[in-house]
Amino acid sequence: MKNCMIAQSGGPTAVINASVTGVFEGNLKLKYFDNVYCGLNGIEGILDNRIINLTETDYKNIKNFKYTPSSGIGSCRYRLKDFNNSEEDYLKLFKIFKKLNIDTFFYVGGNDSMDTVKKLSDYSIKIDSQIKFIGIPKTIDNDLLMTDHTPGFGSAAKLIATTVLETYLDFSVYLNNGIFILETMGRDTGWLGASAILAKLDGKPVVDFIYLPEMYFSIEQFLEKVKEKYKEQKKVYIVVSEGIKNEEGKFIAENEVVSHDNFEHKQLGGVGNLLRKIIIDFGITKRVKVLELGVIQRCAMHCASLTDIREAYNAGAYALNLAREGQNGVMVTFKRISNNPYKCLMESTNVELVANRIRYFPQEWIVEEGNHVDKGALDYFIPLIKGIPQLDYKNGLPIYTKLI
């Protein structure tokens, strides 16, 4: 008997469950594995024997799972130690895998999850195990190397651009509208913030300034630009990534950091309100509104991209082919062939080239003054947000399914 297991790790996305469904439904067609197990709450849950057999689940119970946002089988932020220093977790995991006749383990996640895939695949080689470990990419941050983009990002970008467009219309109804600041996620990279360039009216971007972590942020220059723009049009719309930094490389909202995750990443938030205070103190205007989007960026299926859902699903199905080929220690990747018409192929790469590394927003797409992005970014974003999923509804609300 040959079985596989799939689990999710890190922050959720609107389309992460589509990848699980891609593995499950793909196996229904290929019949390569006898059973598809799910590790609930990632590696952390598996270590606690929180495992279900998806193959034994009534299929009608997971009908809407593909279109359910967030991690429907749970997630975790559990960091495996280096097995050269401690083998305890590895011994326990491989004992569980052996008991369930696991041939391949699929892990859906981002940078830190690929670190887990790398460690487990390296350990399997060390102990001469035949178990294969394959990464399926997901992250709204879009910051994985070796792939054109990551499932989850397109839907987050669509939500951000739609929110920008709608809040701009709400914000700009008066003669004197003040200043609106929208804060996006993006601790290290500005992909999410930059996607605000998609929001247009009459062919023109509605956002006046976009500030990303890839460019140093000068409070003095910021205030002068905002003052000048406000004087010119009596309204200013600003989008800012939570992770913007000063010339010393310190987060502008450094004092707002209240915690770290298990990978020692600072949990940011609050830069929008900080800039609001700075603007008011500088005397530009007291009419300053702030919207911190927060977790809605990663769980808004009602505003998801159909392209994103399809690619997340296909990544899961493609991972099955990698397993059939006997590949180990790899991650599914996307290779863009063209923007218009949009064409993208799936390939794979050594997970070592992805784990614990960051793919930054291209500086060539940032304008010289560092406060907006150009057409290159727009052309890149547009194909990723297209299409609308057809959700099932009951009493006016979408029907969602969790397996945990």
Query: Cα 41 to chain center, whole Å?
Result: 17
3-state secondary structure of 24: helix
Catalytic residue (one of 103, 122, 141, 308) = 141
Say if CB 274 and CB 253 are below 8 A apart. Answer: yes
- DSSP symbol at 309: H
Question: How many angstroms separate the first and last alpha carbons of the chain?
Answer: 26
**Number of neighbours of residue 391 by Cβ within 10 angstroms:** 15
Whether 115 is catalytic is no
User: Nearest to residue 331, comparing CAs of 307, 360, 359?
Assistant: 359
3-state secondary structure of 284: coil
The amino acid present at 270, given as its one-letter code, is G
Tokens found for residue 400: 């969602």
- Pairing state between β 342-350 and 288-292: unpaired
The amino acid present at 358, given as its one-letter code, is I
Active-site residues, by number, are: 141
